[in-house]
Amino acid sequence: MKVDGACHCGRIAFEAQVDENEVSICHRDDCQRLTGTAFRVSVAVPAENFHLLRGSPKEYIKIAESGARRLQGFCGDCGSPLFATSADKPEVYGLRVGTLLQRDQLVPRKQIWRHSALRWVPLMEHLETWSDEDDFPSLP
């Protein structure tokens, strides 16, 4: 599926070819903080299928407990989070679904770090669920 995305102010725009079955929710504490809300919703896309059309995202490197370096791309003007990828070898981008024009068509299929979910977030038992990073094959 082809998707188009942009930050809130429109200075950064991108497009990608995504698999709509690769939409996930992450409840991890880091994802809550980086999104400023209860969880992160993203769609994984191979690097070769992601193309910036306009602007240059500001980058923040988050270092995970494992030592993995995760690059967080966001708009330096409006602050919209756009994507995350490996800081060392970007092979897969986790596009933030809220920035995509087609967001209503991208329904989450799985959730990770469910044990970190805020207690008022519904269980979403219909989703495939991984409890931690060891169970999940890759974090977009």
Considering the segment(s) 2-130 as one domain, its CATH architecture is Beta Complex (2.170)
Confidence of residue 134 (pLDDT cuts 50, 70, 90): low
Confidence of residue 117 (pLDDT cuts 50, 70, 90): confident
110, containing H or E segment: strand 110-112
User: Which of 83, 14, 71 has its CA nearest to residue 42?
Assistant: 83
- Which residues, 6+ apart, have CB-to-CB distance to 106 below 8 Å? 3, 18, 20, 23, 41, 43, 97, 100
Residues 98-102: what's their mean pLDDT?
A: 98
SS3 state at 133: coil
Domain ranges of the chain: 2-130
Q: Confirm if 55 and 11 have CB atoms less than 8 A apart.
A: yes
32, containing H or E segment: helix 29-35
pLDDT in tens, 22-55: 999 999 999 989 999 999 999 999 999 999 999 9
Beta strands 81-86 and 92-96 are antiparallel
Provide the whole-model pTM: 0.87
